[in-house]
Homo-oligomer: A and B are copies of this chain.
Amino acid sequence: MDRAKLEALLNEVREGSTDVPDALERLRVLPFEDLGFAKLDHHRPLRTGMPEVIFASGKTIEHVTAIFVRMAQAGGNVLATRVSPECAESVLAAESHAVYHQTARCVTLDQTPAPQGKGTVAVVCAGTSDLPIAEEAAVTARLMGNHVELIADVGVAGIHRLLAQRNSLQTARVLIVCAGMEGALPTVVGGLVNAPVIAVPTSIGYGASLGGIAALLGMLNTCSPNVCVVNIDNGFGAACIASLINHQ
């Protein structure tokens, strides 16, 4: 039963051709989503600056390109993550305003200015190996309307390099901290700042890193109470949460 049918029913009640108990019964069983709730969902991305997103991993180049184009036509911003160079080439050929961020493995199309967040989102990582995940977070957060500061090469085995960035860390409104191997960086950063830290374990490492499980467990067991965690390599998700916090 869509809005038209609901309107008709109410008119029948008004005109007396359907009495109240019958109307009650028909209303009781109608599925709520036909009342228009779903539309709110469609409006939400535009209101909040959250782009349409394609997780490209495991999809064919043709498939990714086609979805990207269709989403672009809807007028909002579009983000594709985990995009190989070959796939990016195809998307950019079809959508000339799109941009490929090679390290982040992301393609973005920025055609609707997102509302700007209130502070800075700091994206922190230890070394060059974690950069793809950190850049994925940074690209995502920027497209969602956040000022982003990327702080790399600050691993805990050389703590003075991290401490040298103390000012940048302490002025951020929310921090995303990516780390593989032992995953200790978010805990140390969490102890230096008074803001929420979103920890992203990365799959960087070998042997007992178990594909990022070691870093994940380390972050979940953090002794800094301002740290929470997302899935391994999930730079995108960390940026979503950070952006939400930064726009409140």
Contact = CB atoms under 8 A, between A and B. Distances in A.
A218 B218 contact: yes
Contact of A196 (B34, B38, B184, B241): B241
A216 B208 contact: yes
Interface string A8-36: 00110110100110011001111111111
Given A20-B11, A191-B158, A220 B230 contact: yes
B217 A221 contact: no
A69 interface: no
A245 interface: yes
Contact of A33 (B160, B203, B231, B233): B160
A97 interface: no
A43 to B, nearest CB: 11
Identical chains bound together, number: 8
A219 interface: yes
Contacts of A127: 223
A245 to B, nearest CB: 5
A92 interface: no
A182 B223 contact: yes
A2 to B, nearest CB: 11
A208 to B, nearest CB: 4
Centre residue among A38, A58, A201, A228 by max chain B CB count within 10 A = A228
B221 A208 contact: yes
A28 B36 contact: yes
Nearest to A212: B207
Centre residue among A34, A207, A221, A248 by max chain B CB count within 10 A = A221
A153 to B, nearest CB: 12
Contact of A226 (B10, B160, B187, B240): B240
Interface string A144-165: 0000000000011111110110
Centre residue among A164, A188, A194 by max chain B CB count within 10 A = A188
Contacts of A233: 206-207
